[in-house]
């Protein structure tokens, strides 16, 4: 980032003129530095949703919503997904560089070594209700890790180990929560299997049924996790940074991120899309009628999976997910009516002026649920899959915040619109 003395933003309020520097990022993005605004003018900015506010400087992910660009540490996501696996990308996000073969193998072995959860934690699963949502279990179990592994706060080596433990154990916790929900015994991780192979085996193997790992499914899972690995300062990542700004440890901060991701307007959208497609298919699946209904302001219907807060063009992740969806279902020999409906809806929407004028293109959630469904992942686990993929980005952002000397505890201002000072009326004494 550069602080260009030649570029200044000028503000005039009540006859007083103030100047604020314009900061320029490495990709040419510019931001007005208003850190002195309140001190010099007594004013704050009003920006609901922080859509015009850069809350931090970050070297992790670059996103251009107008051009449809997404890069992790400078690498285009469409190139990473072709060449790398999820372990490569997780290491890249957390450590800042792509690992060579030796480093990757060492990292993979370290992840396997720490993939088991503490035996005492297994009793926690027994006390969740049978119908507990996997995201509720995941967030509770992640924050509890700080009780079993408190040494992370001692030094940098401890923090690095905490990040590794969390990245490894989250898949075990997720798989155990699924086994709990269906009343089956848990399957322990194996040192013989890769990161994604281990997760799938823990999910679907059982004492009475042999689960054969399909390389098509394993590779697809790798790619889906890469797609979700980071996405700049989204709601859940901002939550991780905000909680971390109080000095909270990594486990607590990530648990907050999981809770934020759970919302239907964020990570929960992938579950909402598949449920919507199932419902629309049952109603006849007429794409034109569905599009007309989505445009009707009185219909109380929203076409989920379209539009994005940042992207004003086709979500680059959605392009990859669509292609991956066709490849996976084709290789597995699955005829999926929901994919046919999804593609008809996309075609109808992209040729409709209503959607074109509003930049409503498919986002990453529109196709990923169909792929998870083809893998055998239950619908209520879709957002958990998102969380596993997003974890490296959360960790990277937490670590970056902790090492940034410019950061302070998050404390947004507000514009108060409540009643003015009031006098408390007399009250009779007594009562409980």
User: Does the active-site annotation cover 222?
Assistant: no
Where residue 2 falls among pLDDT bands split at 50, 70, 90?
Answer: very low
Mean pLDDT score, 291-304: 88
- pLDDT, residue 160, reads 81
Give 123's Cβ-side CA count (13 Å radius). Answer: 2
What SS3 string covers the chain? CEEEEEEEEEEEECCEEEEEEEEECCCCCEEECCCCHHHHHCCCCCCHHHCCCCCCCCCCEEEECCCCEEEECCEEHHHHHHHCCHHHHHHHHHHCCCCCHHHHHHHHHHHHHCCCCCHHHHHHHCCCCCCCCHHHHHHHHHHHHHHHCHHHHCCHHHHHHHHHHHHHHHHHHHHHHHHHHHCCCCCCCCCCCCHHHHHHHHHHCECCECCCCCHHHHHHHHHHHHHCCCCCCCHHHHHHHHHHCCCCCHHHHHHHHHHHHCCCCCCCHHHHHHHHHHHHHHCCCCHHHHHHHHHCCCCCCCCCCECCCCCCCCCHHHHHHHHHHHHHHHHHCCCCHHHHHHHHHHHHHHCCHHHHHCCCCECCHHHHHHHHHHHCCCHHHHHHHHHHHHHHHHHHHHHHHHCCCCCCCCCCCCCCCCCCCCCCCCCCCCCC
Q: Are 81 and 226 in contact (CB under 8 A)?
A: yes
- pLDDT, residue 242, reads 96
Residue 293: pLDDT above 80? yes
Residue 193 is encoded by which pair of tokens? Answer: 């299997």
CATH class of 269-375: mainly alpha
- pLDDT, residue 126, reads 83
Return the CA Rg of the chain. Answer: 24
Largest Cα–Cα separation, the chain: 80
Domain with CATH 2.20.28.60 in the chain: 2-54
Residue 424 is encoded by which pair of tokens? Answer: 């408390």
Where residue 219 falls among pLDDT bands split at 50, 70, 90?
Answer: very high
pLDDT tens-digit profile of 24-72?
999 998 999 989 999 888 889 999 999 899 999 999 999 998 899 999 9
Domain with CATH 1.10.230.10 in the chain: 269-375
What is the Cα–Cα distance from 95 to 233, expressed in whole angstroms? 18
Query: What is the pTM (predicted TM-score) of this model?
Result: 0.91
Residue 6 is encoded by which pair of tokens? Answer: 């030649």
- pLDDT, residue 13, reads 86
Give 288's Cβ-side CA count (13 Å radius). Answer: 0
User: Does the active-site annotation cover 365?
Assistant: yes
Mean pLDDT score, 179-200: 92
| Window from 8-17, 85-94, 157-166 with minimum mean pLDDT | 157-166
Residue 216 is encoded by which pair of tokens? Answer: 């098509």
Mean pLDDT score, 337-356: 90
Residue 359 is encoded by which pair of tokens? Answer: 């930049």
* Active-site entry in 114, 228, 231, 308: 308
pLDDT tens-digit profile of 113-146?
999 999 888 888 888 888 889 999 999 999 999 8
What is the Cα–Cα distance from 41 to 12, expressed in whole angstroms? 10
Residue 314: pLDDT above 90? no
Which of 169-178, 298-307, 350-359 is the most confident on average?
A: 169-178
Where residue 241 falls among pLDDT bands split at 50, 70, 90?
Answer: very high
* Active-site entry in 88, 222, 230, 365: 365
- pLDDT, residue 111, reads 94
Where residue 363 falls among pLDDT bands split at 50, 70, 90?
Answer: confident
- pLDDT, residue 101, reads 95
What is the Cα–Cα distance from 36 to 388, expressed in whole angstroms? 39
Where residue 180 falls among pLDDT bands split at 50, 70, 90?
Answer: confident
Domain with CATH 1.10.580.10 in the chain: 76-261+381-402
Does the domain at 2-54 match CATH 3.30.465.10? Answer given as no
Residue 311: pLDDT above 90? no
Residue 393: pLDDT above 70? yes
pLDDT tens-digit profile of 144-156?
998 888 765 556 6
**Looking at domain 76-261+381-402, which CATH architecture does it have?**
Orthogonal Bundle (1.10)
- pLDDT, residue 267, reads 87
- pLDDT, residue 299, reads 86
| Window from 185-194, 297-306, 327-336, 391-400 with minimum mean pLDDT | 297-306
- pLDDT, residue 138, reads 95
């Amino acid at each position: 980032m550069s602080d260009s003395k030649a570029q200044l933003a000028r503000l005039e309020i009540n006859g007083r003129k103030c100047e604020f520097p314009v900061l320029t990022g490495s990709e040419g993005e510019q931001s007005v530095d208003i850190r002195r605004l309140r001190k010099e003018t007594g004013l704050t900015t009003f920006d609901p949703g922080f859509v015009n506010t850069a809350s931090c400087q970050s070297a992790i992910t670059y996103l251009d919503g107008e051009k449809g660009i997404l890069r992790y540490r400078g690498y285009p996501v469409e190139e990473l997904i072709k060449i790398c696996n999820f372990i490569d990308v997780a290491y890249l996000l957390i450590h800042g560089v792509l690992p060579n073969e030796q480093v990757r193998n060492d990292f993979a072995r370290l992840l396997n070594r720490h993939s088991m959860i503490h035996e005492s934690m297994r009793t926690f699963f027994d006390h969740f209700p049978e119908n507990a949502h996997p995201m509720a279990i995941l967030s509770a179990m992640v924050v509890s890790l700080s009780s079993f592994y408190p040494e992370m706060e001692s030094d940098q080596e401890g923090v690095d180990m905490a990040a590794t433990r969390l990245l490894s154990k989250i898949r075990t916790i997720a798989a155990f929560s699924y086994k709990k929900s269906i009343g089956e015994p848990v399957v322990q991780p194996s040192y013989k299997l890769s990161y994604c192979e281990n997760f799938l085996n823990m999910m679907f193997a059982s004492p009475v049924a042999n689960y054969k790992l399909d390389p098509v499914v394993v590779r697809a899972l790798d790619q889906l996790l890469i797609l979700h690995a980071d996405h700049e300062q989204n709601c859940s990542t901002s939550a991780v940074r905000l909680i971390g700004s109080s000095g909270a440890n990594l486990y607590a901060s990530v648990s907050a991120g999981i809770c934020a991701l759970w919302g239907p307007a964020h990570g929960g959208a992938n579950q909402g899309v598949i449920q919507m497609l199932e419902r629309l298919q049952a109603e006849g699946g007429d794409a034109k009628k569905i599009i007309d209904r989505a445009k009707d302001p009185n219909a109380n219907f929203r076409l989920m999976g379209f539009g994005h807060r940042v992207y004003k063009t086709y979500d680059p992740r959605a392009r990859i997910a669509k292609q991956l969806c066709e490849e996976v279902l084709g290789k597995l020999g699955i005829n999926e009516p929901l994919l046919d409906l999804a593609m008809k809806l996309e075609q109808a929407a992209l040729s409709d002026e209503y959607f074109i004028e509003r930049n409503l293109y498919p986002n990453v959630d529109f196709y990923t649920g169909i792929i998870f469904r083809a893998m055998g992942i239950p619908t209520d686990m879709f957002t958990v899959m998102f969380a596993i993929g997003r974890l490296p980005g959360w960790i990277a952002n937490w670590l970056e915040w902790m090492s940034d000397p410019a950061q302070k505890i998050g404390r947004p201002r507000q514009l108060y619109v409540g009643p003015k000072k009031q006098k408390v009326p007399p009250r009779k004494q007594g009562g409980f």
